[in-house]
Structure 1
């Protein structure tokens, strides 16, 4: 079984479902409220575990009821939490509005996630055993850089999701093997609104890029390719897109660690993402391996 290590955030998602998102200064009436375990790091960990990998999580939860629930959710999904710290701060939260078209808007309060400023004893040894290290930007950059450097020292593939998007230091990019932004993040990083041009421009900073395009699929760019290659996604009706990108990345990491060629890995990850958007919630919506296989081959 492949081993995936995830360094990242754990949040409790506080989700309000509305017909349309409110404009600035406007109040709307929602139809439902849910409390769902999430966070980009935890989401990717759950997605990879459900896709069939042995997964370990590095991060922090708060010393509160949300923290206990977040830890239990990870463990119940098969994610190892031996390196998940308990901070004295409150657990991180994400305040999410989901509209009838499946779109979302999110405000993240890092809280305990902000205490993860570097690796703790034993974290590097854990990373050294992995087939891939998944990283995002919902925890301090100092920890992300330190973990990526550790992975690089041990020949472990680093897969970075640059979200929430922000300027990334050269010392992080030089040890990033695969960058996976969505089209908006790619535009913010490059100033180019055309995803093909943005993907190509990002190759000046990292050797390989996958730009996710939502329902339109993804673009794969690499220094070894003449131009970006488009991979379509299955056509489905979205209910809630929260966590779909994390589902895609978690499944992609598993597929690549298992040795699938990139086009097949992207199609497999797209099948996982398509399944997730048809269900509400982030981690709650993530499919298990048999579902992904069935959707991929259908």
Structure 2
């Protein structure tokens, strides 16, 4: 998907953000209580934070560049090797910082949701200093606002042909200031979840929030978790609503990032809006069936496997037949990607030599 611009290879997607070393516990019988010990059914360890989106995009074939700060500890060295060698992510604008340790997040998953415990420190330089001169890219993904008040880095792309995909984090103050959306007109796409969308637009339904957002940004997408997603694309005049896929969700960490990466893929490929939403919903549904955000992200090989099984079971029930009908477009999409297709990796912290052997 890449092309050369000057002496630099143009990226399909460029992104930046904080990187974490994630330790994920799944299948907890209940929430932890003081003075007690509980056992988890599963555990994984993997790069998290911005790595969730970067890995998901790279596995779907996007030439992905990441600017992130890496610690000089074992976690940082392992994450760098894994992302660069195993996941083929361009770390040309990432940096290792001496005497700075990796941020760590522990994710506790039970009853279909999760709680996070995190420790870390801001990287020693600003985001703009880390990025330097922004690389040529077909698309970038960034937050609408920076928690430190710094001007969003993606504004450096100005009015060029780079598509800006924007997201917004949870507001811990729960003020949900509508001014946060003031830069939406500079973006191509906005992908909040339904809670965020309704809160920022002061509406009482996901559909009402979508209508409000579609007046401010060409491509507005509102995700609804297991209930699917809705979207409006003013650049094509399309609207779409798709249901979620019924799956046994093990860990929802990174599901939104996988959805976003798949939407970038479909948009760059100029697929119809409904197909983009279906593909993104499928990608996130495949991710939540495994623990760990980044390394649970599906590659084209996992999508080929799912589609092969879906067609084989289409005659079992009306619901299975409907799924096969809705995803019939994959027959046209997959043949060019099935050969040497990437599949997800096991979420286990290992030796650097194991990463080298894998690559």
What TM-score do the two structures reach when normalised by structure 2?
0.72
Q: Does 1:285 align with 2:296?
A: yes
| C-alpha contact 1:216 1:233 (8 A) present in aligned 2 | yes
| Separation (CA, whole Å) in 2 of partners of 1:257 and 1:136 | 20
Correspondence list, 1:42-191, <5 A: 42-75=51-84, 76-88=86-98, 89-99=100-110, 101-113=111-123, 115-120=125-130, 122-124=132-134, 126=135, 129-136=136-143, 140=147, 145-165=151-171, 167=177, 169=180, 172-191=183-202
Shift of 1:113: 4.8
1:48-101 Cα distance to aligned partner (Å, 9 max, x none): 0001111110121222222112212211111111111223432222231101x4
Structure 2: 5+ residue runs without aligned partners? 3-11, 308-326, 332-359
| C-alpha contact 1:148 1:158 (8 A) present in aligned 2 | yes
Q: Single out whichever of 228-237 and 159-168 deviates more from structure 2.
A: 159-168
**SS in structure 1 of the partner of residue 68 of structure 2:** strand
1:100-135 Cα distance to aligned partner (Å, 9 max, x none): x432122444524574432446441x1xx2111012
Q: Single out whichever of 216-225 and 271-280 deviates more from structure 2.
A: 216-225
| C-alpha contact 2:240 2:273 (8 A) present in aligned 1 | no
| Separation (CA, whole Å) in 1 of partners of 2:128 and 2:182 | 15
What TM-score do the two structures reach when normalised by structure 1?
0.85
Q: Does 1:21 align with 2:31?
A: yes
Call closer, same or farther: CA 1:16–1:116 in 2, change over 3 Å.
farther
| C-alpha contact 1:113 1:139 (8 A) present in aligned 2 | no
| Separation (CA, whole Å) in 2 of partners of 1:226 and 1:51 | 26
Higher gyration radius (CA): 2
Q: Single out whichever of 288-297 and 176-185 deviates more from structure 2.
A: 288-297
Q: Which residue of 1 aligns with 2:354?
A: none
Shift of 1:201: 2.2
1:12 pairs with one of 9, 18, 21:
21
Shift of 1:46: 0.4
Shift of 1:151: 2.4
Q: CA RMSD in A?
A: 2.9
**SS in structure 2 of the partner of residue 29 of structure 1:** coil
| C-alpha contact 2:108 2:115 (8 A) present in aligned 1 | yes
1:194-246 Cα distance to aligned partner (Å, 9 max, x none): 11112222234433211111111101034568895312232211111111111
Call closer, same or farther: CA 1:170–1:28 in 2, change over 3 Å.
same
Correspondence list, 1:237-252, <5 A: 237-252=248-263
